[in-house]
Amino acid sequence: MSAEATNPASPGAVTSTSLEQGGTPAPRRRARPRIDLRRLGRAAFLGSAARDRLPDAIGHVAEAHRAHHPDADLEPLRRAYVLAESSHRGQMRKSGEPYITHPLAVTLILAELGAETTTLTASLLHDTVEDTDVTLDQVGEEFGAEVRFIVDGVTKLEKVDYGAAAEPETFRKMLVATGNDVRVMSIKLADRLHNMRTLGVMRPEKQERIAKVTRDVLIPLAERLGVQALKTELEDLVFAILHPEEYRHTRELILGNASREDDPLAEIADEVRAVLRDSGIQAEVLIRPRHFVSLHRTARKRGTLRGSDFGRVLVLVNEDADCYGVLGELHTCMTPVVSEFKDFIAVPKFNLYQSLHTAVARKDGQVAEVLIRTHQMHKAAEAGVIALGNPYAPPSEEQSDSDGARADLAGDGERVDPTRPGWLSRLLDWQEAAPDPDTFWSTLREDLAQDREITVFRADGGSLGLPEGASCVDAAYAQYGEDAHACIGARVNGRLATLSTVLRDGDTVQLLMGQDPASEPSREWLEHAHTPVARIAIQRWLAAHPTHDEPADGPGTPGDLPEAEETAVEPAREAVGARPAQDGSKPAPDASPAAATAVVDQPGATVRLAGCCTPVPPDEVTGFAVRGGVVTVHRVECAGVARMKATGRAEVGVHWGDTTEARVTLVAESFGRPHLLADLTEAIALEGVAIVSATVEPPSQQRVRHTYTLQLPDAAHLPALMRAMRNVPGVFDVSRAQHHVAVP
Ligand code: MN
Q: Is 81 in the same domain as 201? A: yes
Catalytic residue among 131, 146, 446, 563: 131
% of the chain with per-residue pLDDT over 70: 69
Ligand 1 center from residue 370 Cα (angstroms): 37
Res 148 pLDDT > 70 = yes
Pick from 369, 241, 364, 366: which is nearest to 356 by CA?
369
- Indicate which CATH number applies to the domain containing 211: 1.10.3210.10
| Residue 177 within any structural domain of the chain | yes
> Which pLDDT does position 436 carry in this prediction?
57
Cβ burial of 506 (10 Å; 0-12, 13-18, 19+) is middle
> Which pLDDT does position 607 carry in this prediction?
76
Q: Is 157 in the same domain as 191? A: yes
The answer to whether 683 and 743 are in contact (CB under 8 A) is no
> Which pLDDT does position 389 carry in this prediction?
56
Q: Which range in 155-164, 217-226, 302-311, 613-622 is most confidently predicted, on average pLDDT?
A: 302-311
d(CA 149, CA 122): 9
* Mean pLDDT of the region 515-543: 79
> Which pLDDT does position 346 carry in this prediction?
67
> Which pLDDT does position 78 carry in this prediction?
94
| Residue 421 within any structural domain of the chain | no
Ligand 1 center from residue 188 Cα (angstroms): 8
Domain boundary among 544, 577, 600: 544
Res 312 pLDDT > 90 = yes
> Which pLDDT does position 294 carry in this prediction?
92
Structural domain boundaries, residue 118: 3-22+36-242
- Indicate which CATH number applies to the domain containing 724: 3.30.70.260
- Indicate which CATH number applies to the domain containing 289: 3.30.460.10
C-beta pairs of 491-498 under 8 Å, 24+ apart in sequence: 491/459, 491/677, 493/674, 494/674, 494/675, 495/672, 495/673, 495/674, 495/699, 496/672, 496/676, 496/677, 496/696, 496/698, 496/699, 496/704, 497/472, 497/698, 497/699, 498/472, 498/698
> Which pLDDT does position 242 carry in this prediction?
94
Q: Is 227 in the same domain as 105? A: yes
Ligand 1 center from residue 93 Cα (angstroms): 11
| Residue 131 within any structural domain of the chain | yes
In tens, the pLDDT along 656-665 reads 776 667 778 8
Ligand 1 center from residue 180 Cα (angstroms): 20
Ligand 1 center from residue 71 Cα (angstroms): 28
| Residue 247 within any structural domain of the chain | no
Pick from 282, 325, 289: which is nearest to 310 by CA?
289
Res 263 pLDDT > 50 = yes
> Which pLDDT does position 713 carry in this prediction?
81
Ligand 1 center from residue 47 Cα (angstroms): 16
170 alpha-carbon distance from chain centroid: 25
Ligand 1 center from residue 101 Cα (angstroms): 10
> Which pLDDT does position 727 carry in this prediction?
87
- Split at pLDDT 50, 70, 90, the class of 178 is low
3-class SS shares of the chain: helix, strand, coil, % to 5 = 50, 15, 35
Active site residue 131: yes
Distance set, CA 635 to CA 561, 607, 659 (Å): 15, 14, 18
Pick from 236, 207, 208: which is nearest to 222 by CA?
236
Res 702 pLDDT > 90 = no
The answer to whether 536 and 434 are in contact (CB under 8 A) is yes
| Residue 215 within any structural domain of the chain | yes
The DSSP call for residue 4 is P
Ligand 1 center from residue 109 Cα (angstroms): 13
> Which pLDDT does position 238 carry in this prediction?
95
Ligand 1 center from residue 191 Cα (angstroms): 5
Region of 461 on the Ramachandran plot (φ > 0 left; ψ -120 to 50 alpha; else beta): left
Pick from 519, 535, 557: which is nearest to 477 by CA?
535
234 alpha-carbon distance from chain centroid: 23
% of the chain with per-residue pLDDT over 90: 26
Distance set, CA 671 to CA 157, 236, 549, 729, 739 (Å): 57, 51, 33, 9, 21
Q: Is 99 in the same domain as 206? A: yes
Domain boundary among 596, 629, 656: 656
Ligand 1 center from residue 134 Cα (angstroms): 15
Ligand 1 center from residue 162 Cα (angstroms): 13
In tens, the pLDDT along 397-410 reads 333 333 333 333 33
Cα maximum dimension of the chain: 104
pTM over 0.75: no
- Total domains in the chain come to 5
* Mean pLDDT of the region 85-109: 94
Domain boundary among 478, 512, 544: 544
> Which pLDDT does position 38 carry in this prediction?
42
Active site residue 637: no
Helix 59-68 and helix 75-88, axial crossing angle in degrees, nearest 10: 150
Q: Is 194 in the same domain as 333? A: no
Mean residue pLDDT of the chain comes to: 74
Pick from 357, 356, 426, 414: which is nearest to 385 by CA?
414
3-class state of residue 227 by DSSP? coil
Amino acid present at 683 = A
> Which pLDDT does position 66 carry in this prediction?
93
| Residue 255 within any structural domain of the chain | no
Q: Which of 34-48, 297-311, 608-622 has the lowest mean pLDDT?
A: 34-48
> Which pLDDT does position 289 carry in this prediction?
93
Ligand 1 center from residue 102 Cα (angstroms): 7
Ligand 1 center from residue 226 Cα (angstroms): 21
Q: Is 287 in the same domain as 381? A: yes
Ligand 1 center from residue 125 Cα (angstroms): 9
Ligand 1 center from residue 194 Cα (angstroms): 8
> Which pLDDT does position 453 carry in this prediction?
67
Ligand 1 center from residue 304 Cα (angstroms): 41
Q: Is 150 in the same domain as 11? A: yes
The answer to whether 427 and 175 are in contact (CB under 8 A) is yes
Ligand 1 center from residue 88 Cα (angstroms): 12
Pick from 230, 229, 203: which is nearest to 214 by CA?
230
Count CA atoms within 13 Å of residue 266 on its CB side.
11
Length of the chain: 744
Ligand 1 center from residue 285 Cα (angstroms): 37
In tens, the pLDDT along 185-213 reads 889 999 999 999 999 888 999 999 889 88
- Split at pLDDT 50, 70, 90, the class of 62 is very high
> Which pLDDT does position 268 carry in this prediction?
95
| Residue 443 within any structural domain of the chain | no
Catalytic residue among 56, 75, 130, 216: 130
Q: Is 528 in the same domain as 570? A: no
Q: Is 168 in the same domain as 51? A: yes
Contacts of 400 (CB under 8 A, 6+ apart): none
Ligand 1 center from residue 126 Cα (angstroms): 6
| Residue 275 within any structural domain of the chain | yes
Res 594 pLDDT > 50 = no
Q: Is 123 in the same domain as 211? A: yes
Q: Is 731 in the same domain as 678? A: yes
* Mean pLDDT of the region 71-88: 94
Ligand 1 center from residue 200 Cα (angstroms): 16
In tens, the pLDDT along 714-725 reads 878 888 899 999
In tens, the pLDDT along 10-45 reads 333 333 333 333 333 333 333 444 444 444 444 444
